[in-house]
Chain A
Amino acid sequence: MLQIKNLFAKVEDKEILRGINLEVKPGEVHAIMGPNGSGKSTLASVLAGKEDYEVTQGEVIFNGKELLELEPEDRAREGVFLAFQYPIAIPGVTISNFIKTAINEKRKYLGEEDIKAVDFLKKIKEKMALLEIDSKFLGRSLNEGFSGGEKKRNEILQMAMLEPQLSILDETDSGLDIDALKIVANGVNKLKSDQNATIVITHYQRLLDYIVPDYVHVLYNGQIVKSGDKSLALELEAKGYDWVKEEVASLA
């Protein structure tokens, strides 16, 4: 589904990604961990198409297409979803209208009709129940005055409604208490299938107790320096990142 090959990216002349290689297949969950400043969020932003980042080398293939050649909106319509670490507030745009617009933009791209109002309502109610979201939520302005937990749940609600093939969760656990974390993780797990894949970017292991990864990668200094299964996450939790850093240093 996704192949990242030797990806280099910089922002304002500072090189942040320095040769990332990663392959994600349908049905898989990959966790990307790493200390602050290692390039985790940059990787997410580059995949989603944020303009501030300049890709200097490498390629990303998504379902056979050159992802980096696509506009951000077309990446989304092709099935890439980024759950933002810091979702943006847009006063005056209700959640309901926003999600409906996004769905219809995707449908238009795929040559489909707009979603019927009843179908939309039925679907969103179902997904809201899954994420334990109150129905009053729909009429609220997007992310305006939302608590941290509400913002993150709203991200996962959008994910549930847009049904992406590849979801990238950027520090979705940051700022969540344990109850909210469980609800969000439960939502993500229920949306999992053998057709779609998830990349979970996180600093801490805790989220991975609930969203169990097939692979864990350690990002450090813009490179994936270590990969393993879920036990790697536990090891990082117990020992911190210093040993990884030392390993990298001794190899250099």
Chain B
Amino acid sequence: MTTKGVRRPLGLAPTAVLLLGALYCLLPVCWVLAASTKTRGELFTTNAFAPGTGLFSNIADLSAYRDGIFWQWMANTALYAGVGALLSTAVSVLAGYALAKFRFFGRNMIFNVLIGGILVPAVVLAVPQYLLLAKAGLANTYWAVLLPSILHPYSIYLARIYASAAIPDALLEAGRIDGAGEHRLLRVVAVPLMLPGMVTIFLFQFVAIWNNFLLPFIMLADDERFPLTVGLYTLLATGANQPALYNLVITGALLSIIPLIALFLTMQRYWRTDLSGGSVKS
């Protein structure tokens, strides 16, 4: 390559490649935006990306479907993802802080065993989790989806890295010399310093639970407790042979991604994958 001396190279080709990638990623989203505004007739007759006239009637139809079960699914998903991610963040931060800032017997062993959880395929867990929860009388309840979602080994790993990078040992030592108890140090020193990392862990876990399909699919039989993913799947499964239901599925798909996309666009600076790297210039 003899690009030597080219001081002001035009970034046309790289820009074009990236824009093509962006176009590819936006295509299905644009399509669903357009399709959800179409009436049944328009869906099959008009241009795929041309807006239609039926958005509000589609939303009304979807809201009327089985007495508004779609909104129940939406609320369920928010509950699973919100509460699950909150508890998950708390558990991960406590564990990560303990692993990063204390020396104690069994530290490495506990870390390795917990991290080993990342490697266990979800399938090995989901079926027996269902059987065990069924024995405890918890299958087909909110708990069945919530409880297995709390432990997230990768979050513990991230929390440990973040704790060792963000909390100076000297600060903890100074606090101890001043006679502060461990719980007070956790509350006053560790948690405030780890807050940005906690937001990141929360967001990733929130999305993971929001998008999860296998676990609720296995755990729940009663569609009153379904999250959106399982609800939309059953809607598709019943509607696949009835093009009349296509509008409901399409509108449901659009409404189900709006909250996450909003979260994603407003919380941009927290979407970081490298917690140890300190600041990310974006």
- Bound pair (A, B): no
